[in-house]
Amino acid sequence: MISSMTGFGSCEEEVESIGRLSVELRCTNHKFTECVFHLPEGLISLEEKLKKEIEAKIRRGRVYCAINIKGQMPEGIFVNRKLLKSYLHEFNSLKKEFKLKDGVSLDSLVKLPGILALKENKPMGAHIWEKLKPIFSQALTNLSKARQKEGKALAGLLKKRGQLLNKDLLFIKRRFSVAAKIKVNKIPAEEEKLAFLKAADIAEEIDRLDFHIKNFQTKITGGQSVGKELDFITQEMQREANTLAAKSFDLVISGRAVQMKSQIEKIREQVQNIE
């Protein structure tokens, strides 16, 4: 069954000694597989491993991966002594330059930007991969299920549109057979009749459209990563429908061909969402 390229999947669990790990995956349309990561500083080294996990299940789409670690306890207080010395050096320079008598209190110093910070217990990626992997895998599974669910809905919609194309094509085939006979009977000269039949013949376009429609329906029900193929097939259907509309001498046939072109365009829009 076909899959959509769009979907969302997440998973969140409490992990002892680390905190609450949450994974969010969001996928949108793309020509190829592309991964965009938003990771905590301590997990940046895991990008390649995460990418391989994604590419094993996702064949097309831009995947946005966000991982957060919540509830980590701070190890202590960090004092940026180097920055503090720079502050004091500048204060002393100003004091001498402008002959100031007031001193700087410790309370004022610790309130300066960048002096105090909390040390975070940030685990390195290699240390938590075993605990993160099952959570990430579950989020990825949830994303795949969401894509498959939407793909199933798309398949049903495209199948109905394909059936409408079949009906239109059958109508055109029958209409052409009758309309051509009526038109030929009105032409007196034999040469003119032959010239008309040669110029107005749309049997080849009808046969090609019939083949493409059947091929399209087969790919929908039997394929998986068939988005590019379906896009190509719809381009061919559009091309044949254009030729059919241009060659037809009958206004009714031309109108139905234009109707088919509109239907094919709607199909192409939906096909852009398929993996």
Closest C-alpha to 128, from 37, 36, 50: 50
The pLDDT of 139-145, averaged and rounded, is 96
pLDDT for residue 118 = 53
Closest C-alpha to 210, from 139, 262, 162: 162
- Specify the 3-state DSSP secondary structure of 174: helix
pLDDT for residue 125 = 60
pLDDT for residue 47 = 93
Average pLDDT, the chain: 88
Which tokens belong to 123? 């685990």
pLDDT for residue 23 = 96
CA separation (Å) from 180 to 56, 87, 194, 199, 200? Answer: 55, 94, 11, 11, 8
- Measured from the Cβ of residue 230, the count of other Cβ atoms closer than 10 Å reads 22
> In this structure, what DSSP letter does residue 258 have?
H
Whether 10 has a pLDDT exceeding 80, the answer reads yes
Distance CA 26, CA 36 (A): 10
Q: Are 248 and 205 in contact, with CB atoms under 8 Å apart?
A: no
Q: Are 54 and 140 in contact, with CB atoms under 8 Å apart?
A: yes
* DSSP character string of 223-240: -SS-HHHHHHHHHHHHHH
pLDDT for residue 216 = 94
- Specify the 3-state DSSP secondary structure of 252: helix
Distance CA 275, CA 266 (A): 17
Percentage of the chain modeled with pLDDT above 70: 93
pLDDT per residue as tens digits for the range 27-84: 999 989 999 999 987 788 899 999 999 999 999 999 999 999 886 545 566 778 888 8
Distance CA 138, CA 53 (A): 11
Query: Residue 176, exposed/middle/buried by CB under 10 A (0-12, 13-18, 19+)?
Result: buried
Helix or strand holding residue 207 (H, E): helix 203-222
pLDDT for residue 267 = 95
* Minimum mean pLDDT range among 183-187, 204-208, 230-234, 264-268: 183-187
Percentage of the chain modeled with pLDDT above 90: 54
pLDDT for residue 223 = 67
261 or 70: which leads in pLDDT? 261
Cα distance from N-terminal residue to C-terminal residue, the chain? 11
pLDDT per residue as tens digits for the range 104-138: 787 787 788 878 765 555 545 667 888 899 999 99
Q: Are 42 and 123 in contact, with CB atoms under 8 Å apart?
A: yes
The pLDDT of 151-165, averaged and rounded, is 93
Whether 239 has a pLDDT exceeding 70, the answer reads yes
Domain ranges in the chain? 7-72+126-147, 74-120, 149-271
pLDDT for residue 108 = 81
pLDDT for residue 242 = 92
Q: List the CATH code of the domain at 7-72+126-147.
A: 3.30.230.10
pLDDT for residue 122 = 53
Whether 194 has a pLDDT exceeding 80, the answer reads yes
